[in-house]
Structure 1
Amino acid sequence: MGMNVGSSSGKDLDVVVDINTTPLIDVMLVLLIMLIITIPIQTHAVKINMPVNTPPKVDKPPIIVKLNVDADGTIHWNDTVIPDRSTLEVTFRQMLTEPEIPEIHLRPDRAAQYKVVAMIMATAQRLGVTKIGIVGGEQFM
């Protein structure tokens, strides 16, 4: 820190006191850097305890039912045309009585109406079908 007293030849002796702020700024920057370094890194990961054991091996592959929906709303159950909702319900009920319930792969056409696909999924949910999935999503990208 310094102090400027002025020249001794003048009659007015004004004392000018200016504080040197450079060391203060340096100390504040060092403290800021130390604060930034000591803050823990924020991770956006979800910590999950995954099972360690290997899953049991499946002896035979599951039975798969291909349920296709055409652009005009026609429903195909393994290449058999399902004309209406009541026939679809009967087919679902027959499937649920089998000893091994098959997986349903629902494959709607890109131009198919949403209400037909929603009707199939709502019917399956109402009847208790749990092994259903929509496949062929690559056509919508």
Structure 2
Amino acid sequence: MARAIRARRLPDAAPIGAINITPLIDVMLVLLVVIIIAIPIASHKVPVDLPVGRGTVDPQPPAVLAIDRQGSLYWNGAALADAALPAKLTTLQQSGAALHLQTDPEARYERFDGVLATVKRAGITKLGFVGNRPLED
């Protein structure tokens, strides 16, 4: 009887020489999905026209357009009505001077966006943004 048991005994377990590649494939698929999602985000560009060559000093001082926290406009420190802004911007664009846009950090973004759209429609190409400090009252 012992002989029969020995005959039916399984052979000794030999080490398996194959590698389980299922986890490797899972990791590679996750990395592929991450790359597919991340590439369009990383390649998003905002077109900006930068000056080429050495800069020159502009002989005309820049005009300063300020927006306070209530959304009121100021042109070089003087109050400005919304209706008068396009005329001022057209004059500025024809003179070739730069425009500095200063916005109070508490101002509404919608107001800033609307003023910036008006500046763009006027054809202003020399535009600078002044720091994010509260306007002096």
Tell me, in whole angstroms, the C-alpha distance in 1 between the residues paired with 2:58 and 2:93.
Answer: 18
Q: Does 1:10 align with 2:5?
A: no
Contact 2:68 2:103 in 1 (8 A): yes
Secondary structure of the equivalent of 1:18?
Answer: coil
How far did residue 57 of structure 1 move? 4.8
Instruction: Output the CA distance in 1 between the equivalents of 2:116 and 2:15.
Output: 71
Unpaired runs of 5+ residues, structure 1, are 1-8, 33-41, 47-53
Q: Deviations over 1:45-102 (max 9, x none)?
A: 98xxxxxxx93352x24642221111222211111221x222111111111221xx22
The residue type paired with residue 84 of structure 2 is: T
In structure 2, do the counterparts of structure 1 residues 16 and 72 end up closer, same or farther at CA, with 3 Å as the change threshold? Answer: closer
Q: Flag the structure with larger Rg.
A: 1
Q: Which has the higher helix share?
A: 2
Aligned residue pairs total 105
Determine helix, strand or coil for the equivalent of 2:125: coil
Secondary structure of 1:106's counterpart equals: strand
C-alpha separation between the residues in 1 aligned to 2:104 and 2:97? Answer: 22
2:118 aligned with 1:120, yes or no? Answer: no
SS at match of 1:121: helix
Which structure: greater strand fraction?
1
SS in 2 for 1:17: coil
Which runs of 5 or more structure 2 residues have no equivalent in the other structure?
25-34, 44-51
User: What is the DSSP-based 3-state SS (H/G/I as helix, E as strand, rest coil) of the residue aligned with 2:63?
Assistant: strand
* Structure 2 counterpart SS, 1:117: helix
CA drift of 1:122 comes to 1.6
State how far apart, in whole Å, the 2-side matches of 1:56 and 1:117 are.
31
Q: Structure 2 matches for 1:73-92, cutoff 5 A?
A: 73-82=71-80, 84-92=81-89
Flag the structure with more relative contact order, 1 or 2, with Cα contacts below 8 A and sequence separation at least 6.
2
